[in-house]
Amino acid sequence: MGPRPTASGLSDPARFQPGVGLRNAPNCPTRKGFTLLELLTVMVIVFILLTMLMPAFKHLLGRAERQNCVGNLKSLYTAAASYVQDQGQWPQIPPQNVQRPEYARAWVASFQAYGIGAKNWVCPSVQRQLGNPDVTLPENARVDYLATPFGPEPRAAFKWTSQPWFVERGDMHGDGQMVIFTNAEVKSLKDIFSSPTLQSVDNYP
């Protein structure tokens, strides 16, 4: 007597042969990898997206660095006001040595008691362009904000509300150096020269 047939047809001996049936089934899905053309297409799309996003990233980075600079200037202002109150005068550091590391180290040391370190004197934009050197090392000491040299009189730094206390060394943010004044107001040179007060002085007959 032959094999008993079943509803599912499992009596067919060919269905029990290893590797036969499923492998050769016409509707069985096969695994397919990326072709070289597809990989190149993905790489081109990613490159285009990065190119489109780069200006936005640079803009956001510039804004963040500018805000960091404003914070540095305000921190220096607070420390300088506390120093004048405690010492009775503005720090008497000769401005002739402004290009020398001794000048930077003297200013950093003056405000250390008020929580101001070497990094508070450094513009993040300048720091990035220089390759992020360690400014805490004596040989790398620098100040990116120059102090106005006031005399030893007790109220010399507070004589006028419009006199600058600290000025950024260079135009690192596209609108001129930033300045902080006696009244703790921070302005860029562009804002200063476009102010109505200055324009009225320029137009005075």
Give the strands of the sheet with 145-147, arranged side by side.
Answer: 145-147, 164-168, 178-181, 186-188
DSSP string, 69-121: HHHHHHHHHHHHHHHHHHHSS-----GGGTTSHHHHHHHHHHTGGGT--GGGG
Amino acid in the structure at residue 190: K
* Predicted local confidence at residue 200, as pLDDT: 44
* Predicted local confidence at residue 205, as pLDDT: 40
The residues, ordered by sequence, that sit 6+ positions from 127 with a Cβ below 8 Å of its Cβ are 133, 135
Q: Is 166 helix (H, G, I), strand (E, B) or coil?
A: strand
* Predicted local confidence at residue 30, as pLDDT: 58
Q: What is the DSSP pairing of strand 178-181 with strand 186-188?
A: antiparallel
Residues of the domain holding 170: 68-202
Residue reference for tokens 């000491």: 141
- Residue 59 forms part of a structural domain: no
Number of domains within the chain: 1
Question: What does the buried/exposed string (b/e) look like for 155-179 if buried means 16 or more CB atoms within 10 Å of the residue's CB?
Answer: eebbeeeeebbbebeeebbeebbbb
Q: Are 51 and 117 in contact (CB under 8 A)?
A: no
* Predicted local confidence at residue 79, as pLDDT: 97
For the chain, which ranges sit under pLDDT 70?
A: 1-33, 53, 56-59, 195-205
pLDDT tens string 69-95? 999 999 999 999 999 999 999 999 998
Q: Are 76 and 180 in contact (CB under 8 A)?
A: yes
* Predicted local confidence at residue 192, as pLDDT: 87
User: From CA 90, how far away is CA 93, in angstroms rounded?
Assistant: 9
- Residue 184 forms part of a structural domain: yes
- Residue 139 forms part of a structural domain: yes
Tokens of 85: 């109150």
Instruction: Report yes or no on whether pTM surpasses 0.85.
Output: no
Residue reference for tokens 């992020």: 132
- Residue 120 forms part of a structural domain: yes
Tokens of 15: 């269905």
Amino acid in the structure at residue 40: L
- Residue 103 forms part of a structural domain: yes
